[in-house]
């Protein structure tokens, strides 16, 4: 059965998965880049941005797992870009350039739908105004029987966790403090129905995998 999976969703030691004040210059919020430095030291992370080299091993293995068996991605508007409200005349096609790293359908959850945006490499962004449960259904329909990767941002992952929709959650805990931003596990209460199924540490991060038990 196809799953809704979260991968490489880094958090700081004080629980923040994004910094404050997202902007074009700070796509992950102020200080948020520090949460993902480990990714771009891996062979897979460097390959994703068109570079060579990088490390293999635990971190690279976890990074690569986020692409295996995935047929569609679901993300919130904040992950797609920093624009708020109506799109207007803003010429914004995402953070990733002309060839985003998805290469499959991407459902963008937004209160301001727009026509689908077809990019190079097989990525098409579909902008959907729907309850989160309906957006997940559309993502599974687009995935063609494969798994759906839940990309973020933080509030969308929280909404899906609260609704019990996430089947697997990979959280790399990075040994830094952000001090402000968005905490992944805020306002969730006791996260019932999930258990830690993997806990593996590298020299850079501790990888925690939570899986739904019911």
CA-based torsion, 8, 168, 109, 67: positive or negative: positive
Helices (H), 53-164: 58-65, 77-80, 132-143, 154-162
Give every CB contact of residue 201 below 8 A, 6+ residues apart in sequence: 58, 207
The confidence score (pLDDT) of residue 190 equals: 74
| Collapsed DSSP state (helix, strand, coil) of residue 77 | helix
Cα–Cα nearest to 3, from 150, 124, 196? 150
Q: Is pLDDT at 214 greater than 80 in this prediction?
A: no
Query: How confident is the prediction for the chain on average, in pLDDT?
Result: 94
The confidence band for 68, taking pLDDT boundaries of 50, 70 and 90, is very high
Q: Please tell me the least confidently modeled range out of 58-67, 91-100, 168-177.
A: 91-100
CA separation for the pair 12, 175 (Å, rounded): 6
Q: Please tell me the least confidently modeled range out of 31-45, 73-87, 133-147.
A: 73-87
Cβ contact 5:73 at 8 Å: no
Cβ contact 194:169 at 8 Å: yes
Q: Is pLDDT at 189 greater than 80 in this prediction?
A: no
Give every CB contact of residue 63 below 8 A, 6+ residues apart in sequence: 7, 8, 39, 42, 44, 45
The confidence score (pLDDT) of residue 35 equals: 97
Backbone angles phi, psi at 93, to 5 degrees: -120, 25
Cα–Cα nearest to 174, from 59, 23, 44, 49? 59
Q: Is pLDDT at 177 greater than 90 in this prediction?
A: yes
Read off the pLDDT of residues 81-127 as tens digits, 9 standing for 90 and up: 888 888 876 678 888 999 999 999 999 999 999 999 999 999 999 99
Q: Which residues pair with 200 in a beta bridge?
A: 207
Note the pTM of the prediction, 2 decimals: 0.94
Report CA 106 to chain centroid distance, whole Å.
12
Q: Long-range contacts: 121-127, Cβ < 8 Å, 24+?
A: 123/99, 125/80, 125/93, 125/94
The confidence score (pLDDT) of residue 85 equals: 86
Give the count of beta carbons closer than 10 Å to the beta carbon of residue 48.
Answer: 17
Domains of the chain in start order, with CATH, are: 4-204 (3.40.430.10)
CA separation for the pair 31, 35 (Å, rounded): 8
Indicate the helix (H) or strand (E) that contains 170. Answer: strand 168-174
- The proportion of the chain whose per-residue pLDDT surpasses 90, expressed as a percent, equals 82
């Amino acid at each position: 059965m196809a799953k809704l999976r979260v991968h490489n969703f880094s958090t700081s030691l004080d629980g923040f998965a994004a910094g404050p004040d997202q902007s074009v210059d700070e796509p992950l919020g102020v200080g948020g880049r520090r949460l993902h430095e480990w990714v771009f030291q891996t062979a897979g992370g460097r390959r994703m941005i068109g570079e060579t080299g990088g490390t293999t091993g635990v971190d690279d293995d976890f990074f690569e797992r986020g692409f295996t068996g995935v047929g569609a991605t679901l993300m919130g508007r904040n992950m797609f870009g920093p624009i708020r409200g109506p799109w207007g005349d803003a010429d914004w096609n995402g953070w990733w350039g002309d060839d985003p790293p998805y290469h499959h359908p991407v459902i963008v959850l937004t209160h301001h739908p727009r026509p689908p945006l077809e990019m190079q490499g097989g990525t098409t962004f579909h902008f959907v105004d729907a309850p989160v449960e309906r957006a997940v259904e559309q993502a599974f329909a687009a995935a063609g029987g494969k798994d759906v990767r839940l990309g973020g941002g933080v509030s969308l992952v929280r909404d899906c966790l609260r609704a019990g929709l996430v089947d697997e959650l990979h959280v790399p805990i990075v040994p830094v403090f952000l001090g402000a931003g968005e905490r992944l596990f805020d306002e969730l209460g006791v996260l019932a129905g999930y258990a830690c199924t993997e806990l593996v540490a590298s020299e850079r991060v501790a990888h925690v995998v939570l899986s739904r038990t019911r």
